[in-house]
Amino acid sequence: MPDTTDHADDLLGGRYRLGETLGRGGMADVYRGEDVVLGREVAIKVVRSGADGVAADSRARGEVSVLAALNHPSLVTLYDAQLDADPPYLVMELVEGPTLTTRIARSPLTPSAAATMAAELGEALHVAHGAGVVHRDVKPSNVLLAPSPLPDHEFRAKLADFGIAYLVDTARVTNPGEVIGTAAYLAPEQVQGVDPAPPADVYALGLVLIESLTGKRAFPDAAGVATALARLEAPPEIPAELDPEWRDLLRDMTRIDPAERPTALDVAMRARALAATTSDARTESLPAAGAVAAGSAGAAMAA
Protein backbone atom coordinates (compact mmCIF):
# COMPACT_ATOMS: atom_id res chain seq x y z
CA MET A 1 0.00 0.00 0.00
CA PRO A 2 1.38 3.46 -0.90
CA ASP A 3 2.75 5.52 1.98
CA THR A 4 0.37 8.42 2.64
CA THR A 5 1.98 9.71 5.83
CA ASP A 6 5.09 11.38 4.40
CA HIS A 7 4.45 15.08 3.70
CA ALA A 8 0.72 14.61 4.24
CA ASP A 9 0.29 18.37 4.71
CA ASP A 10 1.38 18.86 1.10
CA LEU A 11 -1.40 16.63 -0.20
CA LEU A 12 -4.75 17.97 -1.34
CA GLY A 13 -7.32 16.51 1.03
CA GLY A 14 -4.50 14.49 2.56
CA ARG A 15 -4.59 12.20 -0.46
CA TYR A 16 -3.81 13.90 -3.79
CA ARG A 17 -0.44 15.26 -4.88
CA LEU A 18 -0.65 18.04 -7.49
CA GLY A 19 1.65 17.95 -10.49
CA GLU A 20 1.93 20.00 -13.65
CA THR A 21 -0.85 22.29 -14.85
CA LEU A 22 -2.75 20.70 -17.73
CA GLY A 23 -5.21 23.47 -18.47
CA ARG A 24 -6.82 26.67 -17.29
CA GLY A 25 -10.42 27.75 -17.76
CA GLY A 26 -12.86 30.36 -16.60
CA MET A 27 -13.81 28.55 -13.40
CA ALA A 28 -10.98 26.13 -12.63
CA ASP A 29 -7.45 24.93 -13.21
CA VAL A 30 -6.73 21.30 -14.08
CA TYR A 31 -3.61 19.53 -12.85
CA ARG A 32 -2.02 16.19 -13.42
CA GLY A 33 -2.13 14.55 -10.00
CA GLU A 34 -1.41 11.39 -8.08
CA ASP A 35 -3.80 9.56 -5.80
CA VAL A 36 -1.28 8.36 -3.21
CA VAL A 37 -3.81 5.98 -1.63
CA LEU A 38 -4.51 4.01 -4.81
CA GLY A 39 -1.22 4.84 -6.52
CA ARG A 40 -2.72 6.07 -9.78
CA GLU A 41 -2.50 9.21 -11.89
CA VAL A 42 -5.59 11.41 -12.03
CA ALA A 43 -6.76 14.76 -13.33
CA ILE A 44 -7.59 17.22 -10.54
CA LYS A 45 -9.89 20.15 -11.29
CA VAL A 46 -9.39 22.86 -8.66
CA VAL A 47 -12.18 25.43 -8.57
CA ARG A 48 -10.85 28.96 -8.52
CA SER A 49 -11.98 31.38 -5.83
CA GLY A 50 -12.76 35.01 -6.58
CA ALA A 51 -15.59 37.26 -7.61
CA ASP A 52 -17.37 34.44 -9.42
CA GLY A 53 -16.65 31.92 -6.68
CA VAL A 54 -20.31 31.28 -5.85
CA ALA A 55 -21.25 30.69 -9.47
CA ALA A 56 -18.20 28.51 -10.01
CA ASP A 57 -19.04 26.43 -6.96
CA SER A 58 -22.64 26.00 -8.17
CA ARG A 59 -21.43 24.89 -11.57
CA ALA A 60 -18.96 22.48 -9.99
CA ARG A 61 -21.73 20.98 -7.86
CA GLY A 62 -23.82 20.54 -10.99
CA GLU A 63 -20.91 18.80 -12.70
CA VAL A 64 -20.53 16.43 -9.75
CA SER A 65 -24.22 15.54 -9.86
CA VAL A 66 -23.98 14.80 -13.56
CA LEU A 67 -20.76 12.83 -13.62
CA ALA A 68 -21.52 10.82 -10.50
CA ALA A 69 -24.80 9.61 -11.99
CA LEU A 70 -23.48 8.71 -15.44
CA ASN A 71 -21.44 5.70 -16.47
CA HIS A 72 -20.21 5.05 -20.00
CA PRO A 73 -16.78 4.35 -21.58
CA SER A 74 -17.13 7.54 -23.64
CA LEU A 75 -17.79 9.77 -20.63
CA VAL A 76 -14.94 11.03 -18.44
CA THR A 77 -15.17 9.20 -15.09
CA LEU A 78 -15.49 11.13 -11.83
CA TYR A 79 -13.49 9.53 -8.99
CA ASP A 80 -13.91 11.97 -6.10
CA ALA A 81 -15.26 15.43 -5.27
CA GLN A 82 -14.71 17.70 -2.28
CA LEU A 83 -16.76 20.83 -2.86
CA ASP A 84 -16.69 21.96 0.77
CA ALA A 85 -12.88 21.99 0.80
CA ASP A 86 -10.82 25.16 0.45
CA PRO A 87 -10.35 25.22 -2.48
CA PRO A 88 -13.09 22.92 -3.83
CA TYR A 89 -11.83 20.24 -6.22
CA LEU A 90 -12.90 17.34 -8.42
CA VAL A 91 -10.81 14.26 -9.13
CA MET A 92 -11.34 12.70 -12.52
CA GLU A 93 -10.00 10.13 -14.92
CA LEU A 94 -6.80 11.30 -16.60
CA VAL A 95 -7.20 10.92 -20.36
CA GLU A 96 -3.75 10.54 -21.91
CA GLY A 97 -4.54 11.82 -25.35
CA PRO A 98 -5.23 14.96 -27.38
CA THR A 99 -8.48 16.77 -27.88
CA LEU A 100 -10.36 16.37 -31.14
CA THR A 101 -9.39 19.97 -31.93
CA THR A 102 -5.72 18.98 -31.86
CA ARG A 103 -6.37 15.84 -33.91
CA ILE A 104 -8.31 17.70 -36.61
CA ALA A 105 -5.52 20.26 -36.91
CA ARG A 106 -3.24 17.42 -38.02
CA SER A 107 -5.65 16.08 -40.64
CA PRO A 108 -9.37 15.30 -41.06
CA LEU A 109 -10.57 11.96 -39.74
CA THR A 110 -11.14 9.10 -42.13
CA PRO A 111 -14.82 8.25 -42.67
CA SER A 112 -14.58 5.01 -40.69
CA ALA A 113 -12.82 6.72 -37.75
CA ALA A 114 -15.42 9.49 -37.78
CA ALA A 115 -18.24 6.93 -37.86
CA THR A 116 -16.80 5.04 -34.89
CA MET A 117 -16.38 8.31 -32.97
CA ALA A 118 -19.95 9.34 -33.84
CA ALA A 119 -21.25 6.04 -32.49
CA GLU A 120 -19.25 6.38 -29.26
CA LEU A 121 -20.33 9.98 -28.63
CA GLY A 122 -23.90 9.21 -29.65
CA GLU A 123 -24.02 6.43 -27.06
CA ALA A 124 -22.55 8.75 -24.42
CA LEU A 125 -25.15 11.43 -25.16
CA HIS A 126 -27.91 8.82 -25.13
CA VAL A 127 -26.88 7.84 -21.58
CA ALA A 128 -26.78 11.49 -20.52
CA HIS A 129 -30.11 12.35 -22.12
CA GLY A 130 -31.68 9.31 -20.51
CA ALA A 131 -30.66 10.74 -17.14
CA GLY A 132 -32.26 14.08 -17.98
CA VAL A 133 -28.97 15.82 -18.74
CA VAL A 134 -28.16 18.05 -21.71
CA HIS A 135 -24.48 18.80 -22.23
CA ARG A 136 -25.02 22.16 -24.04
CA ASP A 137 -21.42 22.56 -25.19
CA VAL A 138 -20.51 19.66 -27.48
CA LYS A 139 -17.46 20.81 -29.46
CA PRO A 140 -14.10 19.38 -30.56
CA SER A 141 -12.19 20.76 -27.57
CA ASN A 142 -14.55 18.89 -25.24
CA VAL A 143 -13.89 15.56 -26.98
CA LEU A 144 -10.84 13.76 -25.60
CA LEU A 145 -9.18 11.00 -27.61
CA ALA A 146 -7.74 8.19 -25.53
CA PRO A 147 -5.42 5.84 -27.46
CA SER A 148 -7.24 2.61 -28.26
CA PRO A 149 -5.71 -0.76 -27.36
CA LEU A 150 -7.34 -2.24 -30.48
CA PRO A 151 -5.12 -2.29 -33.59
CA ASP A 152 -7.99 -1.40 -35.93
CA HIS A 153 -9.16 1.62 -33.92
CA GLU A 154 -7.30 4.91 -33.70
CA PHE A 155 -8.82 6.07 -30.42
CA ARG A 156 -11.70 5.93 -27.95
CA ALA A 157 -13.57 9.25 -27.87
CA LYS A 158 -14.60 10.59 -24.46
CA LEU A 159 -16.93 13.51 -23.85
CA ALA A 160 -15.70 15.92 -21.17
CA ASP A 161 -16.87 18.99 -19.28
CA PHE A 162 -20.41 18.77 -18.03
CA GLY A 163 -19.69 21.95 -16.03
CA ILE A 164 -22.42 23.86 -17.86
CA ALA A 165 -24.74 20.91 -18.32
CA TYR A 166 -28.41 21.58 -17.75
CA LEU A 167 -30.12 19.29 -15.27
CA VAL A 168 -33.64 19.12 -16.60
CA ASP A 169 -35.33 18.47 -13.26
CA THR A 170 -33.25 20.78 -11.07
CA ALA A 171 -32.87 24.52 -10.56
CA ARG A 172 -30.99 26.32 -13.32
CA VAL A 173 -27.63 27.88 -12.59
CA THR A 174 -27.97 30.36 -15.46
CA ASN A 175 -30.71 32.95 -15.91
CA PRO A 176 -33.72 32.11 -18.10
CA GLY A 177 -33.01 32.96 -21.73
CA GLU A 178 -29.24 33.16 -21.21
CA VAL A 179 -27.28 31.61 -24.06
CA ILE A 180 -24.69 29.11 -22.84
CA GLY A 181 -22.29 27.30 -25.13
CA THR A 182 -19.77 28.03 -27.86
CA ALA A 183 -21.17 30.16 -30.68
CA ALA A 184 -19.74 28.09 -33.54
CA TYR A 185 -21.61 24.97 -32.34
CA LEU A 186 -24.89 26.39 -31.04
CA ALA A 187 -28.13 24.89 -32.31
CA PRO A 188 -30.68 27.35 -33.76
CA GLU A 189 -32.93 27.03 -30.72
CA GLN A 190 -30.00 27.78 -28.40
CA VAL A 191 -29.35 31.01 -30.29
CA GLN A 192 -32.96 31.95 -29.56
CA GLY A 193 -32.48 31.29 -25.85
CA VAL A 194 -34.88 28.34 -25.71
CA ASP A 195 -34.43 25.96 -22.76
CA PRO A 196 -31.80 23.37 -23.75
CA ALA A 197 -32.97 19.92 -24.79
CA PRO A 198 -31.31 16.79 -26.23
CA PRO A 199 -31.77 17.82 -29.92
CA ALA A 200 -29.34 20.70 -29.32
CA ASP A 201 -26.59 18.23 -28.45
CA VAL A 202 -27.38 16.19 -31.55
CA TYR A 203 -27.12 19.32 -33.72
CA ALA A 204 -23.77 20.27 -32.17
CA LEU A 205 -22.45 16.73 -32.67
CA GLY A 206 -23.47 17.01 -36.32
CA LEU A 207 -21.34 20.16 -36.67
CA VAL A 208 -18.46 18.41 -34.90
CA LEU A 209 -18.68 15.50 -37.36
CA ILE A 210 -18.69 17.84 -40.38
CA GLU A 211 -15.56 19.51 -39.03
CA SER A 212 -13.95 16.14 -38.27
CA LEU A 213 -14.49 14.92 -41.83
CA THR A 214 -13.51 18.14 -43.62
CA GLY A 215 -11.06 19.85 -41.27
CA LYS A 216 -13.18 23.01 -41.44
CA ARG A 217 -15.87 24.45 -39.18
CA ALA A 218 -19.38 24.29 -40.60
CA PHE A 219 -19.89 27.90 -39.48
CA PRO A 220 -16.38 29.41 -39.68
CA ASP A 221 -17.55 33.00 -39.18
CA ALA A 222 -19.53 32.28 -36.00
CA ALA A 223 -17.45 34.57 -33.78
CA GLY A 224 -20.43 35.57 -31.68
CA VAL A 225 -24.09 34.93 -31.05
CA ALA A 226 -25.19 37.68 -33.44
CA THR A 227 -23.38 36.00 -36.33
CA ALA A 228 -24.79 32.64 -35.29
CA LEU A 229 -28.30 33.92 -35.96
CA ALA A 230 -27.72 33.10 -39.63
CA ARG A 231 -28.23 29.41 -38.90
CA LEU A 232 -31.86 30.08 -38.04
CA GLU A 233 -32.54 30.35 -41.76
CA ALA A 234 -30.26 27.75 -43.32
CA PRO A 235 -28.67 24.46 -42.25
CA PRO A 236 -24.91 23.93 -42.65
CA GLU A 237 -23.53 22.87 -45.98
CA ILE A 238 -23.03 19.11 -46.20
CA PRO A 239 -19.91 18.17 -48.21
CA ALA A 240 -20.99 16.70 -51.53
CA GLU A 241 -18.03 14.30 -51.65
CA LEU A 242 -19.33 12.27 -48.70
CA ASP A 243 -21.17 9.01 -49.23
CA PRO A 244 -24.99 9.32 -49.38
CA GLU A 245 -25.42 7.62 -45.99
CA TRP A 246 -23.09 10.17 -44.38
CA ARG A 247 -24.86 13.09 -46.06
CA ASP A 248 -28.26 11.79 -44.93
CA LEU A 249 -27.10 11.39 -41.33
CA LEU A 250 -25.49 14.83 -41.13
CA ARG A 251 -28.45 16.48 -42.83
CA ASP A 252 -30.84 14.90 -40.34
CA MET A 253 -28.68 15.84 -37.33
CA THR A 254 -28.47 19.50 -38.37
CA ARG A 255 -32.06 20.19 -39.34
CA ILE A 256 -33.27 23.60 -38.18
CA ASP A 257 -36.38 22.17 -36.52
CA PRO A 258 -35.21 20.20 -33.46
CA ALA A 259 -38.25 17.93 -33.69
CA GLU A 260 -36.96 16.62 -37.03
CA ARG A 261 -33.55 15.54 -35.71
CA PRO A 262 -32.77 11.94 -34.74
CA THR A 263 -32.18 11.03 -31.12
CA ALA A 264 -28.65 10.40 -29.86
CA LEU A 265 -29.45 6.68 -29.85
CA ASP A 266 -30.54 6.86 -33.50
CA VAL A 267 -27.27 8.63 -34.32
CA ALA A 268 -25.26 5.93 -32.54
CA MET A 269 -27.02 3.10 -34.36
CA ARG A 270 -26.73 4.72 -37.79
CA ALA A 271 -23.09 5.56 -37.16
CA ARG A 272 -22.37 1.97 -36.12
CA ALA A 273 -23.83 0.81 -39.41
CA LEU A 274 -21.66 3.33 -41.27
CA ALA A 275 -18.56 2.16 -39.42
CA ALA A 276 -19.31 -1.45 -40.32
CA THR A 277 -19.66 -0.73 -44.03
CA THR A 278 -16.97 1.92 -44.48
CA SER A 279 -13.39 1.03 -45.33
CA ASP A 280 -10.55 3.54 -45.44
CA ALA A 281 -7.57 3.46 -47.69
CA ARG A 282 -5.34 4.82 -44.98
CA THR A 283 -4.95 4.26 -41.23
CA GLU A 284 -3.36 6.81 -38.94
CA SER A 285 -2.34 6.52 -35.31
CA LEU A 286 -2.34 9.08 -32.57
CA PRO A 287 0.92 10.68 -31.45
CA ALA A 288 2.44 9.22 -28.32
CA ALA A 289 0.73 10.40 -25.16
CA GLY A 290 2.67 12.99 -23.23
CA ALA A 291 2.62 16.39 -21.62
CA VAL A 292 1.29 18.18 -24.72
CA ALA A 293 -1.49 15.67 -25.33
CA ALA A 294 -2.48 15.53 -21.67
CA GLY A 295 -2.36 19.30 -21.52
CA SER A 296 -4.87 19.52 -24.37
CA ALA A 297 -7.17 17.15 -22.50
CA GLY A 298 -6.77 19.13 -19.30
CA ALA A 299 -7.68 22.37 -21.03
CA ALA A 300 -10.98 20.85 -22.07
CA MET A 301 -11.86 19.92 -18.48
CA ALA A 302 -10.91 23.35 -17.13
CA ALA A 303 -13.76 25.22 -18.79
**Enzyme catalytic residues:** 137
Backbone angles phi, psi at 131, to 5 degrees: -95, 10
Q: How far apart are alpha carbons 34 and 39 in whole angstroms?
A: 7
8 Å CB contact between 297 and 22? yes
| Burial of 45: CB neighbours in 10 Å, binned 0-12, 13-18, 19+ | buried
Of 292, 197, 59, the residue nearest 188 (C-alpha): 197
Element (H, E) at 157: strand 155-159
| Burial of 31: CB neighbours in 10 Å, binned 0-12, 13-18, 19+ | buried
